[in-house]
Homo-oligomer: A and B are copies of this chain.
């Protein structure tokens, strides 16, 4: 039914504090800062407003913690895989599989990040986003090498990465829009999204043929 991931900070596992945090995580990610109500978070955690404010003083602080957790969970995972020590072709394959799985389990996360930055750019870049993240330099070099060796068709490494990301993330995030544009039922869409992993991989490798 609800197959979205919930974060776990091991030390506090199963504690009330953790239950509240998980509830906040879910509500904030789905509805955003403005759309989320403290009462709804309390309900979702199975407690009341008083206790909610007892554990987390203010909505702002709670949101800040959740937002930090979201981005600290989302980006390092990607970074790690994209910069891993692994042949380019294999890396792309694993990346597509891994990333489609990841986004399928957390379909609201990309929307949450983009939306909140759009609505409150200042706070987000000040408080939530950490130090400058390292660029995927190794991946870029791998692509350039593969091009130089003639293993793949000449292509801009950055555009390749963005193409891969786009084809993995967008269909899952834009699910409600696809339903309209493609005129598909919810069931049809489920089947369609399951085919994506193979379809995206074959599309990419076809585009990369020399």
Known A35-B32, A135-B183; judge A195-B117 contact (CB<8 A): no
In the bound complex, what is the Cα–Cα distance between A35 and B206 (angstroms)? 43
Residue of B118, B171, B173, B209 near A206 (CB, 8 A) is B209
Chain A positions 81-137 with a Cβ under 8 Å from a chain B Cβ:
108, 110-111, 113-115, 117-119, 121, 129, 132-136
In the bound complex, what is the Cα–Cα distance between A35 and B33 (angstroms)? 9
In the bound complex, what is the Cα–Cα distance between A162 and B182 (angstroms)? 9
In the bound complex, what is the Cα–Cα distance between A196 and B140 (angstroms)? 17
Min C-beta distance of A44 to chain B, whole Å? 15
Chain A 195-210, CB within 8 Å of chain B: the 1/0 string? 1100110011011110
In the bound complex, what is the Cα–Cα distance between A173 and B175 (angstroms)? 15
